[in-house]
Amino acid sequence: MRPWLLVAALLATRVAAGTLEGRLVTFTVETWDDRAAPLLVARGRTVAVGQGTEFGLGPEGFTGGLEVVPVAVEIGPNRIELSYPRGIGRFYQARFNGYVLRFETECALFDKVAIDPVGTTMKVTEVWAETGALFINVSGLGYGPDSRLALDIEVADCPLS
């Protein structure tokens, strides 16, 4: 193989390094007091991160007395924004009640995750990452059309899977 072909091949597999753009992500809603025995795990949806809103969840029908709150999720290269286009209420109180975004990767995808106080109206305090997954806990918080959550993400130099 010619050396320049090898370099081109290596660069092609790392185009999205440092960004969420182009990555496959599965978004779901989970509610649990004990992670091994969830009260609700909503149907996951998988998309490639690109332009516009990646996810627009609506109600899925009650499971164990719980229902998915309508939410819109837009994922940018280094930012995730959530908004609530319909309804007003309060999230069910549990140890974890929120969102899980699982990106297809085997490396620690997130170097840093920070809540953007300017783009956020909700009092979210618990956001964490595990390998390629991001957990956002909204348990007990209020939501409505004026509610927003914005996360600034520092993405690690992980190749696309």
- Domain presence at residue 10: no
List the chain pLDDT tens, one digit each, 161 residues. 444 333 333 333 444 448 999 999 999 999 999 999 999 888 889 999 988 888 877 666 666 678 788 899 999 999 999 999 888 999 999 999 999 999 998 888 999 999 999 999 999 999 999 989 999 999 999 999 999 999 999 999 887 76
| CA 137 to each of CA 31, 143, 158: distance values in angstroms, whole numbers, following the listed order | 9, 13, 25
- Domain presence at residue 161: no
- Domain presence at residue 76: yes
Residue 120's domain comprises 18-155
When divided into structural domains, the chain yields a total of 1
Provide the 10 A C-beta neighbour count for residue 111: 13
Number of H helices, E strands in the chain: 1, 13
- Domain presence at residue 3: no
